[in-house]
């Protein structure tokens, strides 16, 4: 099972140090998502991250930076997905996300993976509740070839449920960044996931 991490939407002092340590602890993919940031702030952030980790970054904004920094891929937000050619035929690996099963099942895009969210009530966004029904999720996951990652409310306590429902991986945000120690939280989740894999 793949475990993907999203950045917090804001910048904070120890962020890059923590992210380097997470990469050193086997974080495979980091989604760089800072919706209010400028392209200059993105560049500054990427300039500070050691180049060896650039291929593990997926960009949510300013896709042109993927070439400039040799990044691993790009993410199409719902808005960007509607503007992009379908199916996407660019040179970068691409992902996108869906918030309804109708969109998820009907989309014909060619993505490395897609997110379904929120699968559970969000940890990081107060009042952002899941609208999915378990048996409908399971049926949809069984009947699509898309590599699908669970996002929203993912914690150590429900990773095994994601596996049993048929998800190919999970994406974390609040379970790591809202914890007292993100490195310990990461280690606990990875160890917990290994029990069920």
SS3 readout for 40-99: HHHHHHHHHCCHHHHHHEEECCCCCHHHHCCCCEEEECHHHHHHCCCCCCCCCEEEEEEC
Task: Name the superfamily (CATH) of residues 2-196.
Answer: Aldolase class I (3.20.20.70)
Residue entry with tokens 């999915």: 132
Would you list the domain boundaries of the chain? 2-196
Q: Which pLDDT does position 83 carry in this prediction?
A: 82
Q: What is the pTM of this model?
A: 0.93
* CA-CA-CA-CA dihedral for 57, 31, 183, 8, to nearest 10: 130
191 phi, psi to nearest 5 deg = -65, -40
Task: State which H helix or E strand residue 78 sits in.
Answer: helix 78-83
Cα–Cα distance measured from residue 196 to residue 20, given in angstroms and rounded to the nearest whole number = 26
Of the candidates 194, 157, 191, 196, the residue with the CA atom closest to the CA atom of residue 174: 157
Along the chain (197 residues), what's the average pLDDT of each consecutive run of 10 residues? 95 97 97 98 98 98 96 93 73 93 90 95 78 90 94 92 94 96 95 72
Nearest alpha-carbon partner for 156 in 181, 190, 118, 115: 190
């Amino acid at each position: 099972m793949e475990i993907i991490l999203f950045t917090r939407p804001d910048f904070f002092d120890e962020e890059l140090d923590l992210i380097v340590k997470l990469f050193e602890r086997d974080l495979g993919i980091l989604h760089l998502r800072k919706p209010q940031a400028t392209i200059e702030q993105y560049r500054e952030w990427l300039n500070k991250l050691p180049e060896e980790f650039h291929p593990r970054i997926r960009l949510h904004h300013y896709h042109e930076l993927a070439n400039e920094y040799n990044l691993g891929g790009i993410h199409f937000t719902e808005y960007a997905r509607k503007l992009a050619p379908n199916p996407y035929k660019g040179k970068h690996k691409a992902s996108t996300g869906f918030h309804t099963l109708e969109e998820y099942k009907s989309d014909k895009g060619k993505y490395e993976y897609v997110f379904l969210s929120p699968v559970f009530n969000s940890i990081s966004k107060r009042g952002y509740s899941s609208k999915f029904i378990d048996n409908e999720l399971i049926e949809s996951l069984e009947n699509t070839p898309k590599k699908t990652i669970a996002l929203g409310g993912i914690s150590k306590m429900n990773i095994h449920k994601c596996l049993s429902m048929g998800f190919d991986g999970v994406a974390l945000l609040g379970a790591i960044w809202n914890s007292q120690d993100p490195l310990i939280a990461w280690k606990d989740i990875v160890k917990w996931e290994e029990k069920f894999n």
